[in-house]
Chains A and B, each alone.
Chain A
Amino acid sequence: MKSFSENIKELLRRYFEGSATDSESIKAEEYLIRHPEVMARYEEKNILPLKPFADDIFDGRSSIRSASEYDDEQFLLLAAAAAEGDLADPMMADFLEIIEADQERKAVAQSFELLRLKPGKERWPGGKKMIRSHSFGNNIKAVSMTIGIAAAVCGLLLFGPAINRELIVPSQSLSLAIPSTTEAEANRSDILIQAGMAVRKVSPVKAHESNGFRKVSTPVNLIPQTMPEELPVYEKRLVGSFGAVLPELEAEKYTGLATVTPRNIPPNQQKKLLDNWMITGLTNMAISVAEEKKDKDAVDFAGHRIEEINRLLGWDMQLEKKLDENGELKAVSFQSGLLCFSAPVKNK
């Protein structure tokens, strides 16, 4: 059978190793508070696992039950533990008994509550140096945007006719609100698409006979009485295209763009105008993205990327920078066989 001394040593060893149970920890702390010399010895060692103590460190006293038996050093440790809120019930009872019986000790105990350090106002001088630039991330986004738009346009070129074949609706499903508008007038109309929910007006910077854009002069007020039933499917494809190529976009935020509805679709112009409607959606999307992610470096990066795509795929996309009188970038314009738009750039 182990002696009391051995039991205490074993208890403290387990306590300082962190393997003691809660009840064992309470006993160990009680013992340490009552034996500051033992605590000091553990503290000085500051190395775990602890080496065995010499037998002489234990004085053989049994647990102290009388409050008056706490000497000053023991009491100070007890008060420090109490101020931290660490005393378990039996110790707390002892502590309260002591301070109620001795006003001087009560004042000492209360003084521990004042011993709290407050942080100063020193500022870290090196903070600004450690901030990392987001430019790389922006460039990546710019590339994603450019590639996304290019991929979407490419998708339109490749799959657009197939989609249209699926979605061509009987001409009688659309009737014109203004019958006087002739087909010829519709053909001559400069409107790209009167996008009912488009949030930005598309302003091509340059007329391209080959890309289907013409300068807008007089909108044609053609309002279909009914909409193609398949149109929501078409819209979903459009949203899907955006989502696939521009994954960073928040779907809900751009739903409004995707649900642009073609109001002015002369029956014999459905294919062409639906294509234009898709392109308009893309253009609005591109402008939205460009305005949100405006960044001079990103524009340069996107320009290089477009050159690379042109070289690799034999395309003819152009991203032009518009400079002000000070040589500062103020806008960009994008042109391709199908798509052109301009967007302002705010310098940082």
Chain B
Amino acid sequence: MTIKEYNTAVKVFGDPLYRFIYRSIKERERANDIVQDSFEKLWMQVTEVDFLTVKSWLFSTAYNRMIDVIRKDSRLVMVEYYDDSSLMESDTSGDLNEVLHKALERLPAPQRAVILLRDYEGYSYQEISSITGLSEAQVKVYIYRGRVSLRNYLTKTGQSIYR
């Protein structure tokens, strides 16, 4: 990859990567650090990474960095598991997308990540599998169960999810 291609990668993939990480851990500063680390790493290997594969390389690198951060940070581990008992009684104020993102925060980190990769970036199961290191079967299971959890959250908080 050339310097020009590297800069293109920064401009084109920086924001989506940041959104993915930020929505996964909900901490702007840390998300910024993780994305910067990923691009630093890319710069170190700029001649070895092909521009055609740089997007999945970046997402994979950032995802692994994020998992490391989550494992080391107890505050982030706290939101690892979905907890019905802490549901708000009603959450009908925001639009559906906002409520979905709130519901997303309650999912375990791997479920959150695979759903974000699927919805934000439109990645296939195979691509998500290569980014996260999970098997395709696990990716599917996480997505199905994640969707069911999202729906359950919306139902319990009174958000209308019917057309």
Find out whether the CB atom of B22 lies under 8 angstroms from the CB atom of A137.
Answer: no
Find out whether the CB atom of A118 lies under 8 angstroms from the CB atom of B141.
Answer: no
- Classify chain A: how many residues form its interface, as a range: 35 or more
Contacts of A77 in B (CB 8 A): 144-145, 148
Q: Which of A108-116, A157-165, A294-302 is near enough to bind chain B?
A: A108-116
Minimum C-beta distance from B150 to chain A (A): 5
Find out whether the CB atom of A132 lies under 8 angstroms from the CB atom of B43.
Answer: yes
- CA of A160 to CA of B147 in the docked complex: distance in angstroms? 77
Contacts of B110 in A (CB 8 A): 46
What number of residue pairs across chains A and B have CB atoms under 8 A from each other?
Answer: 124
Known pairs A40-B145, A130-B14; A16 contacts B138 (CB<8 A): yes
Contacts of A25 in B (CB 8 A): 137
Known pairs A39-B145, A42-B141, A122-B15; A132 contacts B3 (CB<8 A): yes
Q: Does A65 belong to the interface (CB within 8 Å)?
A: no
From 43 to 64 in chain A, residues with beta carbon under 8 angstroms from any chain B beta carbon are 43, 46, 48
Q: Does B131 belong to the interface (CB within 8 Å)?
A: no
Minimum C-beta distance from A53 to chain B (A): 15
Q: Does B88 belong to the interface (CB within 8 Å)?
A: no
By secondary structure, the B interface counts as helix
- Classify chain B: how many residues form its interface, as a range: 35 or more
Find out whether the CB atom of A114 lies under 8 angstroms from the CB atom of B119.
Answer: no
Q: Does A123 belong to the interface (CB within 8 Å)?
A: yes
Q: Does A253 belong to the interface (CB within 8 Å)?
A: no
Minimum C-beta distance from A22 to chain B (A): 12
Q: Which residue of A lies closest to B120 (CB)?
A: A119
The 8 closest A-B pairs by CB, nearest first: A124-B18, A117-B119, A80-B144, A80-B147, A111-B161, A124-B14, A127-B14, A18-B135
